[in-house]
Amino acid sequence: MAWPVATSGTYASNALLAEFQARADNMTPLMEEILQQPEALSCVRKYYASPGAIPMSIRKKLGISRETLVVFTGMGSSLHAAYPAQAWLTAMGYRAIVWEAAELLHHHLNVLSPDTLLVVVSQSGETVEITRLIEVLPKKINVVAVTNVENSHLARKGKLLLPMMAGVQAAVSTKTYTCAVAVLMYLAFAIAGEANRPLSQALMHAVDAQEDILERRDDVMLPTLEFFNHPPYVALLSRGADMASAFQGSLMLKEVARLAAEPITAAQFRHGPIEIVNPSHCYIIFARHTLPGAAAPRTRKPATLLLKLADDIRSHKGRVLLISDRTVDDVTNMRLIHVDPIRLGLGTLVDIVLIQLLAHDYALRAGFEPGKFWIAEGVTRRE
């Protein structure tokens, strides 16, 4: 049975609240894994903050210098998890890019050279594009393997293995995503030769923020679901490191809620796609004030640009779900979820939990099991 859907923008009716509670009491495998994320992230923090988790000799062992091109590659959530680490490295003056593994394998392999550090990310370590990429790499390419399965094909082939330590993941990617974000950031600090204490502190704050959201998830999700309604199209917009949330959030809404969701940079959205703004759509904007590193000279803060985009969308009757650590005075046609500031561009560790909850509860409302694949596979083995 489908939920009754309110459209007035007020809090849910008593009937909606009662039905939500009845469904929420039935714990799903996906919800169990969503709730495990603070503990999993704490385990990653404890392990990688320990001396020797990433050898201090890594720069020498992997031939890392300012001239090294760091290429993060993977598929799906494993790829999206790399954006904060990439943003932090480039802010520190290192060359770093994020490249889809399939495109790298079939179209751009010749870009890789001896001065490339290839960071390959895969939850299973057995994804078809990853296994094939590993087999055709030039021998002089140094590979860092980031995986949740320590006896996988990827793990055996890497010159350095960094475990995600997320535990068993039965549903779609939740804790493997957040753990991968953290592991990749620890790697980024090691590449730059920086002490990781600021990172460990930021992760501690992220864990606290995750726990706070999960403890009050019903209070947060009821008005959010009512505002979200049943959109035929969802756009997820941001800039920089927070594009991780846009990409991963879009994947969650497709995999879990079966919604037509599109991740797009806020700048690209202004270059034409803004023409599709419609009251029936929902525009999710991640607007965080904190940056991964020093801002470029004369660069406007991304949050300012994103809040202006939110205003422009609303001026054309679009509905905006704003996830931000900034305050907003006018919330007309907007649902604002205020989040805690998280340093180093790691806001996705908190923001994605909100999208996970939204996708999960929307799926329950639609009457199907959240996080269960009907067409895709947990480990993709066919190109």
* pLDDT for the residue numbered 13: 47
Q: Which residues pair with 146 in a beta bridge?
A: 121, 162
* pLDDT for the residue numbered 239: 96
The mean pLDDT of 230-250, rounded to a whole number, is 98
Q: How far apart are CA 344 and CA 206, in angstroms?
A: 11
The mean pLDDT of 142-153, rounded to a whole number, is 95
Q: How far is CA 288 from the centre of its chain?
A: 14
Q: What is the pLDDT of residues 37-92, one digit of tens each?
A: 999 999 999 999 999 999 988 999 899 999 999 999 999 999 999 999 999 999 99
Q: How many CB atoms lie within 10 A of CB 196?
A: 21
Architecture of domain 14-25+216-366: 3-Layer(aba) Sandwich (3.40)
* pLDDT for the residue numbered 18: 53
* pLDDT for the residue numbered 27: 86
Cβ–Cβ < 8 Å for 134, 153: yes
Homologous superfamily of the 37-201 domain (CATH): Glucose-6-phosphate isomerase like protein; domain 1 (3.40.50.10490)
* pLDDT for the residue numbered 313: 97
State the DSSP string of 176-193. Answer: HHHHHHHHHHHHHHHHHT
Give 1's pLDDT tier (boundaries 50, 70, 90).
Answer: very low
Q: What is the pLDDT of residues 309-336, one digit of tens each?
A: 999 999 999 999 999 999 898 899 999 9
* pLDDT for the residue numbered 368: 84
Q: How far apart are CA 192 and CA 172, in angstroms?
A: 32
Q: How far apart are CA 46 and CA 252, in angstroms?
A: 28
Q: How far apart are CA 269 and CA 90, in angstroms?
A: 24
Q: What is the pLDDT of residues 362-377, one digit of tens each?
A: 999 988 888 777 766 6
Are the folds of 14-25+216-366 and 37-201 the same? yes
Q: Where are the domains of the chain?
A: 14-25+216-366, 37-201
264 or 9: whose pLDDT is higher? 264
Residue spans of beta strands (DSSP E) within the chain? 69-74, 95-100, 116-122, 142-147, 160-163, 234-238, 261-265, 282-287, 319-324, 334-338
Cβ–Cβ < 8 Å for 248, 81: yes
Q: How far is CA 152 from the centre of its chain?
A: 23
Identity at 351, one-letter amino acid code: D
Q: What is the pLDDT of residues 242-300, one digit of tens each?
A: 999 999 999 999 999 999 999 999 999 999 999 999 999 999 999 998 767 654 444 55
* pLDDT for the residue numbered 12: 43
Give 382's pLDDT tier (boundaries 50, 70, 90).
Answer: low
